[in-house]
Copies of this chain bind each other. A is one copy, B any other.
């Protein structure tokens, strides 16, 4: 049945069908202008021998692998794994396959991987990176970045982070918060997440609401302790916005240990809209990023780049929305 003895080649198919290899190739590639009968013959031969084209040989000629790489800090994180999930789905629709590359937040790893990928001739890269790797990306390798702005001529997809911050502020104020706090880690490489805090702070000013903030340089070793002293110094805080959902979880943990209860003592909004798995709920009240849409946009952009199609805008910014979970009051 599925016992391909010694690997069937195009030559075998050609012989079986009584045509030349060129013709078989044309059939494989869906070229038009093939006589109905020849097409039939070839297709039957392919079927009969259960022939599958050799992708290496093909790649050698065409310089295309139909493989794209996703370069991320780690797949072991709901944001990245959800993103990867959607990217894979989208790619599959376009007969492409997905290579996963964990860089583990290490710039050197990112660079190593990029070299590896160039050698392996992936057709393109979608990268969520936190270091200055743009210099290492050879200009002939299509690259789409997520959430991070490189040099001017780089393509990227992001969320409306600034607006998300504004939104968070409005939702907290709407629910009666009067002493706001923004809590985040700060990566030494600037990235789009900074905009979340900027939006939040700007909106607080706009709304004339008191605000203080805790911005901890990464890596976050002593985060819990820092958070604790922050709240000891600012016991009046009743509305919190964090740079992402996991940070919110950490804050909740610390506040719980300090004897404070969400809803009763404070309200908190995260950012990302993480769900550990497809059928799992959001972790808390949060600003939700449209991860599926981001993935879709990134793939679309990358494929256009690969196919050298015209691209209207090299930056795509997607809307976010508020999800009312159980860490903010019901309205």
* Residues in A lying within 8 Å of B, measured CB to CB: 2-4, 52-57, 59-60, 63, 65, 67, 74-78, 80-82, 84-85, 88-89, 97-102, 115-116, 118-121, 135-136, 138-140, 246, 249, 274, 276-280
Contacts and interface: CB of A to CB of B under 8 A. Distances in A.
A55 B276 contact: no
- Among A57, A89, A102, A135, max chain B CB count under 10 A is at A102
A67 to B, nearest CB: 7
Contact of A120 (B55, B81, B85, B100): B55
Nearest to A245: B276
Nearest to A113: B92
A102 B52 CA distance: 22
9 contacts: A52-B115, A55-B119, A55-B120, A56-B60, A77-B81, A77-B277, A88-B102, A89-B102, A97-B116
Nearest to A80: B81
- Among A53, A82, A140, A277, max chain B CB count under 10 A is at A277
A85 B74 contact: yes
A101 B279 CA distance: 19
Contacts of A4: 138, 140
Contacts of A89: 102
Contact of A56 (B65, B115, B279): B65
A278 B99 contact: no
A53 to B, nearest CB: 7
A102 B3 CA distance: 26
A101 B97 CA distance: 8
A120 B99 contact: no
A252 to B, nearest CB: 12
